[in-house]
């Protein structure tokens, strides 16, 4: 099945949804509205420092919307552990974000 769009996110134990920092404000706003529409919850876009602290304590997941309109959530735990400890973690988050169809 072909993917229409996707983005990484973190869901904390209290049910809050966090998105990594966007590359541009318009793309971040569009991604925010898309995630809110699919998950029916208000996501929070966070700074790179806060994303880093969240990802150390929580699993990174990826929200995928397919071309047929179906959606799925996939774990990125294995990818997150591969980039932990990098000297430039912000760049790794951005690359992860780009790789999975985010902003």
Of the candidates 21, 63, 16, which has an alpha carbon nearest to the alpha carbon of residue 38?
63
> What is the pLDDT at residue 95?
46
Mean pLDDT in residue range 24-31: 91
For residue 93, pLDDT beyond 60 = no
> What is the pLDDT at residue 2?
87
> What is the pLDDT at residue 100?
43
For residue 50, pLDDT beyond 90 = yes
Query: Looking at the whole model, is its pTM more than 0.75?
Result: no
For residue 21, pLDDT beyond 60 = yes
The boundaries of the domain holding residue 18 are: 3-99
Cα–Cα distance for residue pair 46/19, rounded to 1 Å = 6
Q: How many domains does the chain have?
A: 1
> How many other C-beta atoms can be found within 10 angstroms of the C-beta atom of residue 32?
18
């Amino acid at each position: 099945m072909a993917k229409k769009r996707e983005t990484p996110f973190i869901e904390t134990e209290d049910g809050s949804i966090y998105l990594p920092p966007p590359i541009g404000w318009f793309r971040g706003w569009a991604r925010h509205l898309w995630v809110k529409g699919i998950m029916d919850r208000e996501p929070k876009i966070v700074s790179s420092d806060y994303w880093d602290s969240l990802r150390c304590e929580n699993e990174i997941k990826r929200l995928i919307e397919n071309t047929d309109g179906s959606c799925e959530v996939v774990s990125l735990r294995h990818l997150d552990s591969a980039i932990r400890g990098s000297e430039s973690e912000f760049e790794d988050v951005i690359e992860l974000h780009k790789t999975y169809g985010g902003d």
